[in-house]
Amino acid sequence: MASHGIEIKGLYKIFGPRGRDHVEAVKNGLSKAELNERYGHVLGLKDINISMPAGGITVVMGLSGSGKSTLIRHINRLIEPTYGELIYDGVNICGMNERALREFRRHKTAMVFQKFALLPHRTVIENTVYGLDIQGISRSESTKKAKYWIERVGLSGFENHYPNQLSGGMQQRVGLARALTNDADILLMDEAYSALDPLIRVDMQSVLLDLQAELKKTVVFITHDLDEALRLGDKIAILRDGQVVQQGTGQEIVLSPADDYITAFVKEVNRSRVIQAKTVMKPFDGQAEGVRIGATTTLESAAKTMTENGQTKATITDDAGTPIGTLDLQTMIAAMVTPAGSETSKMAAE
């Protein structure tokens, strides 16, 4: 189980032979366009500051070219930073020497790619043990681990198949099994589900959430899809042109978008899948009514529970089961359709 989060502090990436020479100018306001026009350098990331919680899923999202894939590749230093720090377990990854970095990559991180990145000449089990082979683990031990994770991702019986005999979803399950077999604290997932059909994609999201509930890895998940971000992310950071525009929980972002860019992103979101019962409940007045629902239950799930039990009211409880509020269907329906910037948004912000 991961016990350390990742702290990204003042991270800059300027692509070009003399990137470091231009950091101060960018800090002082030199724009991406000016940097390119004047100096022929490209601004990839600007002053990134994100705390990625240990044992949680941090989703980094944005449109194509926003810098999200550049950012994730800094965590295992597939891309060298120009300036800034990435702290894990008290150590600055940016300052690691070659040997320390190699050990960090082998033992602390595992990566799942969009294009699966399976070796075509290796079977499912041979692909799954690949990371352990590199570590020098005995084949008997690595095979035992691999079989366990192949079963956990739902691929039992396919151990001896080759990648070209598998569907896209099955290939991505192999990629996930390979990453989990490595037993790394940090799981880096770069647009891992973007190439999958929508139904398979939702299925793979469920697989990840089920495994994460048990494993509590420190997961960094890159996506351009807001619905995916909201479903998976304990925390979400939205990038635009290499900068963090807003970060917080899915509920915070949907209810209190930082600017017009974020507002446009969240406009079509199904709010009932994001807003939690505690956000719109009324304070508990001593009178328990209807069904009992947990404070962090989404309005969609709460409405389903109430309807199935033939109730229009609910008592909201904390983790210990103590009543802390009440909620009725009318309030819930109003919250689902209230636009951002409304009273509901202000409540969530407070």
Structural domain contains residue 296? yes
Give the span between the Cα atoms of 326 and 314, in whole angstroms: 6
The rounded percent of the chain whose pLDDT value lies above 70 is 95
- Last residue within a domain, chosen from 212, 246, 266: 266
How many CB atoms are closer than 10 A to CB 74?
A: 22
For residue 342, pLDDT over 70 is answered with: no
The pLDDT score that the predictor gives to residue 341 is 44
The pLDDT score that the predictor gives to residue 338 is 57
Q: What's the whole-number mean pLDDT along residues 133-151?
A: 86
Q: What is the DSSP letter of 116?
A: -
Structural domain contains residue 1? no
For residue 197, pLDDT over 70 is answered with: yes
Q: What's the whole-number mean pLDDT along residues 144-149?
A: 89
Q: Give 346's pLDDT tier (boundaries 50, 70, 90).
A: very low
168 in the same domain as 304? no
- Last residue within a domain, chosen from 217, 251, 266: 266
Q: Are 62 and 233 in contact (CB under 8 A)?
A: no
The pLDDT score that the predictor gives to residue 348 is 43
CB-based contacts of 18, cutoff 8 Å, min separation 6: 39, 41
Higher pLDDT, 271 or 222: 222
Q: What's the whole-number mean pLDDT along residues 129-147?
A: 84
Q: Residue written as tokens 């509920």? A: 251
For residue 339, pLDDT over 60 is answered with: no
How many CB atoms are closer than 10 A to CB 47?
A: 16
The rounded percent of the chain whose pLDDT value lies above 90 is 46
Give the span between the Cα atoms of 265 and 225, in whole angstroms: 10
DSSP string, 127-161: HHTHHHHHHT--HHHHHHHHHHHHHHTT-TT-TT-
Q: What residues form DSSP beta bridges with 188? A: 111, 220
332 in the same domain as 260? no
The pLDDT score that the predictor gives to residue 98 is 93
The pLDDT score that the predictor gives to residue 349 is 41
For residue 337, pLDDT over 80 is answered with: no
Structural domain contains residue 279? yes
- By residue range, what is the domain housing residue 131? 6-266
The pLDDT score that the predictor gives to residue 343 is 43
Q: Within 13 Å, how many C-alpha atoms sit on residue 331's CB side? A: 19
Residues in the chain: 350
For residue 2, pLDDT over 50 is answered with: no
Domain count along the chain: 2
Give the span between the Cα atoms of 332 and 92, in whole angstroms: 46
Q: Residue written as tokens 């949907």? A: 254
CATH code, domain with 260 = 3.40.50.300
- Last residue within a domain, chosen from 198, 231, 266: 266
For residue 293, pLDDT over 70 is answered with: yes
For all residues of the chain together, what is the average pLDDT? 88
- CA-CA-CA-CA torsion for 193, 197, 198, 202, nearest 10 degrees? -50
Q: Which of 43-57, 107-121, 162-176 shows the lowest per-residue confidence on average (mean pLDDT)?
A: 107-121
